[in-house]
């Protein structure tokens, strides 16, 4: 490693103490920034610079994602410094210099600062958190909308003595006006069918145990 050659940690914008998950997050962020789809309006020089950086970032991730390769790399890196002062922190390009033409040889792009474990976890699960929040908001809004909506169905009451009714099928009962056509009129309600007056028909139309004594109309 040359004296001014950035380390794999510097290329990814993390410290040597970073966890594999933190390194993974930094790598994905860089790949997203350097992807060709993001650079379709860039100059040829900037595109060439991004391609070179992508190769460097991929190589850094290839080494640092594997525990054994990372240990071998760290040992080689420590041996290379041979006791001279070394601060392995993410390199920064001079302010205002955003092209491939870097006069002092530092060809790293600006990257985000190293993330903590908590920040890396939140960043990784952010899409699911956003979806959960949106679904919760939709549920709350739907509940309030349903609460304020009037029920369009009319209230249905059981037939009582004196009501005129139609019985289309089974025990389904429709209360109708006695001034118009109807099938039956409820004379009374009794506990047993044999208690119905003569000339009436005993039917159990309600949900209770009583019988309705019906006279045809």
For strand 184-190 and strand 174-176, is the pairing parallel, antiparallel, or unpaired? unpaired
- Which parts of 13-95 fold into alpha helices (H)? 20-34, 44-64, 67-81
Strand ranges inside 126-173, DSSP E? 164-166
* Nearest partner of 189 among 161, 147, 154, judged by Cα: 161
pLDDT (tens place) for every residue of the chain, 217 residues total: 445 689 999 999 999 999 999 999 999 999 998 888 777 788 888 888 989 999 999 999 999 999 999 999 999 988 887 555 545 544 444 333 333 333 333 344 444 455 566 766 666 677 778 888 888 888 878 766 666 565 555 556 788 888 898 887 655 678 888 888 888 899 999 998 899 999 898 888 777 788 889 899 8
For strand 164-166 and strand 211-216, is the pairing parallel, antiparallel, or unpaired? unpaired
Q: Which residue ranges form the domains of the chain, and what is each CATH number?
A: 8-125 (1.10.287.110), 164-216 (no CATH)
Q: Are 198 and 213 in contact (CB under 8 A)?
A: no
How far, in whole angstroms, is CA 72 from its chain's centroid?
40
Give the phi and the psi of residue 190 in degrees, each rounded to 5: -135, 165
pTM over 0.75: no
């Amino acid at each position: 490693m040359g004296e001014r050659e950035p380390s794999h940690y510097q290329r990814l914008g993390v410290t040597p103490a970073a966890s594999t998950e933190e390194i993974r997050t930094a790598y994905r962020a860089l790949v997203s920034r350097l992807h060709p789809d993001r650079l379709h309006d860039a100059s040829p020089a900037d595109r060439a610079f991004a391609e070179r950086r992508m190769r460097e970032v991929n190589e850094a991730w290839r080494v640092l994602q594997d525990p054994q390769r990372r240990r071998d790399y760290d040992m080689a890196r420590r041996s290379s410094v041979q006791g001279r002062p070394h601060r392995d922190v993410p390199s920064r390009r001079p302010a205002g210099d955003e092209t491939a033409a870097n006069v002092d040889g530092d060809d790293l792009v600006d990257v985000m600062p190293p993330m903590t474990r908590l920040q890396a976890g939140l960043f990784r699960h952010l899409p699911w958190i956003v979806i959960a929040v949106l679904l919760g908001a939709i549920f709350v809004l739907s509940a309030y909308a349903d609460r304020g909506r009037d029920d369009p169905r009319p209230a249905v009451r059981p037939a009582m003595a004196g009501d005129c009714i139609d019985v289309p099928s089974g025990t389904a009962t429709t209360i109708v006006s006695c001034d118009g056509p109807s099938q039956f009129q409820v004379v009374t309600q009794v506990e047993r069918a044999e208690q119905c007056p003569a000339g009436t028909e005993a039917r159990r139309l309600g949900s209770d145990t009583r019988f309705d004594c019906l006279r045809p109309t």
